[in-house]
Structures are given as structure tokens and as C-alpha cells.
């Protein structure tokens, strides 16, 4: 590490530490929250400090009491641990710290993860933004509705996004073992990576990237194997909680919002038909993964399509999980900046309009403390439409791309 990079690293570490202290003093010492994170942290704490199975009814009761002050009623979010056990291994350094400080550390970590992931996404697409646009991009990365909700809830989704784009960037620079490790970490939230993983493994087979496949397999073996050593019964408890999850969560996929909420007369047959149709289209696109390189526009198009369709077909998703769609979104915005006259100004306009629209939609439709199902619709459907409509920009190599200054 040269002197310049060392200075930058020290400054970033100081900024991180100051942010944690500021977060604790102004917020987390007074207002406990980040409930999505608390369930996992408390479950990990119960295991490491008391030897309690985080999937057990006793642990679930204690998690609920920590959040609600009492056991949850059947109508409420059961706030179960419901993550793979190796989540508890990753959280081990935090289990001995008072929760106010833990919450501050985690919220700042999520915020930094989001901003870092966005910077890496720009690097993935070789998008060198002018300083003024980069500043707006980082601001958007924090105050866009889906991002802010991710930070407030302390959602692991931010880390999944970071690990996904880190994996793609590692593949771009031939750091295959690192890419395999990062891909394995995305299984902490399998509902976000269940299509991303087979897509990349299929691509790796076609490209003979054996170190990537080995890095993923070895990392999974280490995570799962250590989990079984520490808690042999973890897989059964995890699967039980996963199977129970749809019983106490309200909103399904964006397709369910259409066929089950707004147009219930369509019902499950139409929902399943749409899911099958999207998956068939995706599998048809995947055939190219055996042939394209990691820097090819078609590769980026297929991966972006995979991330969008993931959120559209999964049984249960969340608007926080949508942040992985920032990868295809920035691909679209990069194309806009290149192809449109004064493209960077159009990108800046998008930032402003998208922030206002998503927050206005949320505030106009919120019921109690619950998001309205309509908030699940705009991003995946509009992004899918644009991706398919503009696919020629990424799938036709001979199209000229001219940088337009904003």
C-alpha cells in the first residue's frame, strides 16, 4: 500500500469511527431499532453466550421480548432468526457489546456498504463520473427510498449487494478465489441470490474458471461445515423457520401484488404462469453465458436481468432487497449518460425525480407502520421494461458508444 492509499484508508477509518460515535450519541443510545438486524444479533448472542439454539422456540420468545417487550401475537411479524447459522459466526465479534453501540456500528456499516457497493458498480461498468455527479450519486445511494429503508432496518441486503458487485468486479480482474468467497457469502440471504449463483456458475463452466468454482465450493464447505460442527441441528431449524416465514409476512412478490392484490380474480394460476414465463425467458438468455466474457455487454445484461427477475418471482421479497437491482439500474444510467445529449444531466434529473417519487408514493400510501404493496411495483417493472427495450445496446457489439459530457 503506497502512502496515498494509506492516508485515504486512515481518513476513511476515522470517518467511520466518527460516524459510529455520532450515530450512538444522537440516535441509537436513545432509540433502539434496526429490528431486522436485532433478530439475527440477538439469536447469535443467545448462542455464543448461553449456548441456546437460535432457531428454538425459547430463543424466538427472547428475541420477540427484546423487540416487542412481550411474545409476538400470531398476527405480528414473528421476528425469527431465520438465517443460515453461519450468520451467527459472522456476528460473533458483536455479541458482547451493548446493543446501542452494536446498532450504531451496524447502521454505519450498512451505510458505508451501500456507498461502497455503488462506487464498485460504477467501476464495474468503467463509468468515470465527473465529481459533481459522483457526489449526487453517493447522496442518492443513501437517501433513495429503498436505500434509506435498508439503512433504518439494518438490513443485510446492503452487504449482499456489496458482495454481489464485489464478486463481479473480482471476476473482471481475475481474482477468482476471492469472487468465489464473496459469492458464497451471498447465501446468507438466499432469496436474493438463488438465481445469481447458478447463473455465475454456469458462466464459469463455459469459461473454464475452475478457481472461481473451487473458491465458491470451498467457501460453502467451510461455512456449512463449521455451522454443523457448532450446531449439528441448525439446518433443520433453519428450514422449519423458512417454511413458516410466508405465514406471517404480508406482501409477496411484485407478480403477487398484481395477481393477488390488485387483480385477485387472476389468482395463482396466472401468477404461476407469469413466473414460469419469466424464468423461461431468463433461461433462454442464460444460453449466452457459456459464450460471453465477463466484460461483454451481453454478460452484464444477463446478470442484470437475473437480478430483476429474482425479485419478481421469489415467493417473498422486500423493497430493501431491491437494492441488488442497482447493478442493472446503473448499467441503464451509464448507457443514458453515453447515448443521450447531456446525458449526465439526465442522470442527475433521474436521481431527483426517483427520490421524490418513491418517497411520495410511500408517504401517500403507508398504513400504520406497513408499506403499501404498490411500493413493490415501480422499480422492477420499469427497470425490466427498459432493460428489454434497450437490450440492443448491450447485446449488439457493433453499436457505437460515444461519451457525452454533462
Tell me the mean pLDDT in the region 70-96.
92
pLDDT at position 89 is 97
Give the number of domains in the chain.
Answer: 1
Cell of 78: 414473528
Query: Buried (b) or exposed (e) across 363-375, using 16+ Cβ within 10 A?
Result: eeeeeeeebbbeb
Distances (CA, A) of 224 to 134, 209, 283, 375: 39, 23, 28, 35
More confident residue, 211 or 251: 211
Asked whether 161 and 117 are in contact (CB, 8 A), the reply is yes
171 in a structural domain: yes
pLDDT at position 402 is 38
Separation between Cα atoms, residue 304 and residue 166, nearest integer Å: 15
Is the per-residue pLDDT at 32 higher than 90? no
Separation between Cα atoms, residue 377 and residue 193, nearest integer Å: 20
User: Tens digits of per-residue pLDDT, 199-211?
Assistant: 999 999 999 999 9
Separation between Cα atoms, residue 356 and residue 145, nearest integer Å: 9
Closest CA to 253 of 385, 391, 152, 379: 379
User: Tens digits of per-residue pLDDT, 330-354?
Assistant: 999 999 999 888 999 999 999 999 9
Is the per-residue pLDDT at 62 higher than 80? yes
The DSSP code sequence of 43-91 is HHHHHHHH---TTSHHHHHHHHHHHHSSPPPTTS------S-THHHHHT
Q: Which domain holds residue 61?
A: 12-395
404 in a structural domain: no
1 in a structural domain: no
Distances (CA, A) of 297 to 26, 118, 120, 171, 401: 45, 19, 17, 15, 12
pLDDT at position 1 is 63
Following CA atoms 257, 260, 261, 264 in sequence, which dihedral angle do they give, to the nearest 10 degrees?
140
User: Tens digits of per-residue pLDDT, 221-233?
Assistant: 999 999 999 999 9
Place of cell 441456546: 52
* pLDDT-based confidence at residue 245 (cuts at 50, 70, 90): confident
Tell me the mean pLDDT in the region 175-185.
98
4 in a structural domain: no
Tell me the mean pLDDT in the region 105-112.
97
Asked whether 259 and 268 are in contact (CB, 8 A), the reply is yes
283 in a structural domain: yes
Is the per-residue pLDDT at 405 higher than 70? no
402 in a structural domain: no
Strand runs labelled E in 61-192: none
Share of the chain above pLDDT 90, in %: 80
* pLDDT-based confidence at residue 397 (cuts at 50, 70, 90): low
Is the per-residue pLDDT at 403 higher than 70? no
What one-character DSSP code corresponds to residue 144? Answer: S
Query: Per mean pLDDT, which range of 80-84, 140-144, 216-220, 370-374 is the poorest?
Result: 370-374
203 in a structural domain: yes
Helix axes 378-389 and 343-365, enclosed angle (nearest 10) = 150
pLDDT at position 165 is 98
Cell of 345: 444531466
Number of C-beta neighbours around residue 297 at 10 A = 20
Measured between alpha carbons, how far apart are the two ends of the chain, in Å?
Answer: 34
pLDDT at position 308 is 98
Return mean pLDDT, the chain: 93
351 in a structural domain: yes
Place of cell 473482471: 172
* pLDDT-based confidence at residue 74 (cuts at 50, 70, 90): confident
Amino acid at each position: 500500500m503506497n502512502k496515498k492509499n494509506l492516508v485515504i484508508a486512515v481518513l476513511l477509518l476515522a470517518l467511520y469511527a466518527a460516524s459510529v460515535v455520532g450515530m450512538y450519541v444522537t440516535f441509537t443510545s436513545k432509540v433502539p431499532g434496526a429490528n431486522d438486524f436485532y433478530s439475527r444479533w440477538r439469536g447469535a448472542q443467545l448462542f455464543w453466550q448461553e449456548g441456546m439454539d437460535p432457531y428454538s422456540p425459547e430463543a424466538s420468545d427472547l428475541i420477540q421480548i427484546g423487540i416487542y417487550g412481550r411474545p409476538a401475537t400470531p398476527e405480528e411479524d414473528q421476528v425469527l432468526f431465520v438465517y443460515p447459522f453461519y450468520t451467527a459466526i459472522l456476528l460473533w465479534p458483536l455479541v458482547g457489546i451493548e446493543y446501542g453501540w452494536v446498532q450504531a456500528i451496524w447502521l454505519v456499516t450498512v451505510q458505508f456498504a451501500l456507498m461502497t457497493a455503488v462506487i464498485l458498480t460504477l467501476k464495474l461498468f468503467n463509468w468515470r463520473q465527473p465529481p459533481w455527479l459522483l457526489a449526487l450519486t453517493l447522496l442518492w445511494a443513501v437517501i433513495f427510498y429503498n436505500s434509506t429503508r435498508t439503512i433504518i432496518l439494518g438490513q443485510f441486503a446492503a452487504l449482499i449487494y456489496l458482495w454481489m458487485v464485489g464478486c463481479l468486479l473480482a471476476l473482471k480482474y481475475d481474482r477468482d478465489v476471492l469472487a468465489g468467497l464473496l459469492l458464497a457469502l451471498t447465501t446468507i440471504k438466499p432469496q436474493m441470490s438463488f438465481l445469481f449463483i447458478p447463473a455465475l456458475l454456469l458462466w464459469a463452466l463455459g469459461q473454464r474458471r475452475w478457481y472461481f468454482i473451487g473458491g465458491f465450493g470451498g467457501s460453502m464447505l467451510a461455512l456449512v461445515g463449521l455451522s454443523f460442527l457448532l450446531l449439528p441441528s441448525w439446518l433443520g431449524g433453519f428450514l422449519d423457520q423458512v417454511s413458516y416465514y410466508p405465514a406471517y409476512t404480508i406482501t409477496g412478490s411484485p407478480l403477487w401484488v398484481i395477481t393477488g392484490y390488485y387483480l385477485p380474480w387472476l389468482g395463482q394460476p396466472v401468477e404461476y404462469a407469469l413466473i414460469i414465463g419469466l424464468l423461461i425467458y431468463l433461461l433462454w438468455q442464460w444460453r449466452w453465458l457459456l459464450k460471453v466474457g465477463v466484460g461483454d455487454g451481453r454478460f452484464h445484461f444477463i446478470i442484470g436481468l437475473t437480478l430483476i427477475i429474482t425479485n419478481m418471482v421469489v415467493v417473498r421479497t422486500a423493497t430493501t432487497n431491491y437494492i441488488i437491482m442497482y447493478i442493472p439500474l446503473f448499467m441503464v444510467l451509464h448507457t443514458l449518460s453515453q447515448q443521450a445529449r447531456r446525458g449526465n444531466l439526465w442522470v442527475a434529473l433521474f436521481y431527483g425525480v426517483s427520490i421524490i417519487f418513491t418517497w411520495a408514493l410511500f408517504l401517500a400510501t403507508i398504513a400504520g407502520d406497513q408499506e403499501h404493496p404498490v411500493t413493490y411495483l415501480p422499480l422492477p417493472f420499469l427497470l425490466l421494461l427498459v432493460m428489454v427495450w434497450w437490450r440492443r445496446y448491450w447485446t449488439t457489439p457493433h453499436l457505437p458508444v460515444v461519451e457525452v459530457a454533462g
